[in-house]
Amino acid sequence: MAQVKMTVNGKAVSAPAEGRMLLSTYLREALGMTGTHVGCDTGQCGVCAVHVDGKLVKSCNMFAAEAEGAEVTTVEGMANEDGSLGAIQQAFQDHHGLQCGFCTPGMVMAASALLKVNSKPTEAEVRAHLSGNLCRCTGYHNIVKAIMAASGQDVAVAAE
């Protein structure tokens, strides 16, 4: 089995991967990084979203071997250096943007990707951007609020 090397959250990693191994499986099983989840088998739900070379990617839609040499960022890499919640993560907690937590890693990665290219998205832009991420718990209300709040826009807190 070929050895696949990449950088994950700033650390060089290497692990054997069968040709058909998905990036999501590589992260979860080969590296034991279970923050990235898997929620479907058709690339529709987005709970497995990560960044590959700065781009938002569904890690179940990419072979591990395709990420050879890439810079990968997962939800485990989204906290501040001191371990405290990063700005997007903090906004999700402040605005109750998660319930069961299963879609949350993908939502955080999707939100981060959006805010990199659009620092002050409108509600409609946030909703459109999340079209690749399913959440079954929140009805999206507090996720949208959390992302707008993370962009520094004035959003009333979840329980006013």
Partner 1 sequence: MADGGIGAPNKRREDIRFLTGKGNYTDDMNKRGQAYVAFARSQVAHGTLKGVDTSAAQEMPGVVRVFTGADFAEVGGIPCGWQITDKHGEVMQEPAHPVLAQGKVRHVGDAFAAVVAETAEQARDAAEAIEADIDELPAVVDMKAALADGAPKVHDDLTSNLCYDWGFVEENKGAVEEAFKNAAHVTTLDLVNNRLVANPMEPRVAIGDYDSSSGDSTLFTTSQNPHVIRLLMGAFVLGIPEHKLRVVAPDVGGGFGSKIFHYAEEAFCTFAAKAIDRPVKWTSSRSEAFITDAHGRDHVTTIQLALDKDNNFTALRTDTHANMGAYLSTFAPSVPTWLHGTLMAGNYKTPLIYVNVKAVFTNTVPVDAYRGAGRPEATYQLERVISKAALELGVDPIALRRQNFITEFPYATPVAVEYDTGDYVATMDKLEEIADLAGFEKRAAASKAKGKLRGLGVNCYIEACGIAPSNLVGQLGARAGLYESATVRVNATGGLVVMTGSHSHGQGHETAFPQVIAEMIGIDPSMVEIVHGDTANTPMGMGTYGSRSLAVGGSAMFKATEKIIAKAKKIAAHLMEAAEGDVELANGEFSVAGTDKSVAWGDVTLAAYVPHNYPLEDIEPGLEETAFYDPANFTYPSGAYACEVEVDPDTGKVTIEAFAAADDFGNIVNPMIVDGQVHGGIGQGIGQALLEGAVYDEDGQLLNGSFMDYAMPRADDLPFYTVDHSCQTPCTHNPLGVKGCGEAGAIGSPPAVVNAVVDALRRGGSDITHIDMPLTPSRVWAAMQK
Binding site for partner 1 (CB under 8 A): 18, 20, 28-29, 33-42, 44-45, 47, 74-76, 78-79, 85, 89, 92-94, 96, 98-105, 108, 123-124, 126-128, 130-131, 133-145, 157-159
Query: Least distance (Å) from partner 1 to the CB of residue 114?
Result: 11
User: Which residue's CB is nearer to partner 1, number 36 or number 151?
Assistant: 36
Token pair belonging to 120: 């002050």
Q: What is the 3-state secondary structure (H, E, C) of 84-109?
A: CCCHHHHHHHHCCCCCCCCCHHHHHH
> For the residues of 122-134, what is the DSSP string, one character each?
-HHHHHHHGGG--
Q: Min. distance of Cβ 3 from partner 1 in angstroms? A: 18
Are residues 44 and 5 in contact, defined by beta-carbon separation less than 8 angstroms?
no
- Residue with Cβ nearer partner 1 (37 or 51): 37
Strands 2-8 and 71-73: parallel
End-to-end Cα separation, the chain, in angstroms? 55
Write down the least CB distance from residue 92 to partner 1, Å.
6
Q: Which is nearer to partner 1, 69 or 129 (CB)?
A: 129
